[in-house]
């Protein structure tokens, strides 16, 4: 399957906007509900980056231009790295200082 450049740009824009929207939802929810909620959500949404990465690999193989799939894999990799880093830091904090206080 071959997409022209405007269609390819639209696809990657949708992927990026979706990830940014999820990040905004996560950030606002973390501010409202606290670190315990954030850690629970990161664990619940853990497969998101993997699924996005798998989609990127499929797009890389099945769709031209190849950079579209590479771009989706890149967005997935950065999303995975960021969520993993935040999750690990929250877990380290909890393991060091005990359970999180409840949010008001």
pLDDT higher than 90, residue 102: no
Which DSSP string corresponds to the chain? -B--HHHHHHHHHHHHHHHHHHHHHHHHHHHHH-HHHHHHHHHHTTHHHHHHHHHHHHHHHHSBSHHHHHHHHHHHHHHHHHHHHHHHHHHHHHHHH-SPPPP-
Minimum mean pLDDT among 72-76, 86-90, 96-100: which range?
96-100
pLDDT of res. 18: 97
What mean pLDDT do residues 25-52 have? 95
The residues spanned by each domain of the chain are 5-97
Residue 103: predicted pLDDT: 67
* Position 99 pLDDT exceeds 90: no
Q: How does residue 101 score in pLDDT terms, banded at 50, 70 and 90?
A: confident
User: Residue 31: beta bridge partners?
Assistant: none
């Amino acid at each position: 399957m071959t997409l022209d450049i405007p269609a390819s740009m639209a696809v990657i824009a949708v992927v990026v906007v979706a990830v940014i929207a999820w990040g905004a939802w996560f950030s606002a929810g973390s501010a409202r509900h606290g670190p315990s909620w954030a850690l629970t959500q990161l664990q619940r949404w853990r497969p998101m980056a993997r699924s996005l990465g798998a989609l990127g690999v499929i797009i890389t193989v099945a769709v031209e231009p190849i950079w579209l799939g590479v771009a989706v894999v890149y967005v997935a990799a950065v999303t995975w790295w960021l969520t993993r880093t935040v999750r690990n830091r929250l877990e380290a904090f909890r393991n060091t200082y005990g359970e999180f206080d409840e949010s008001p």
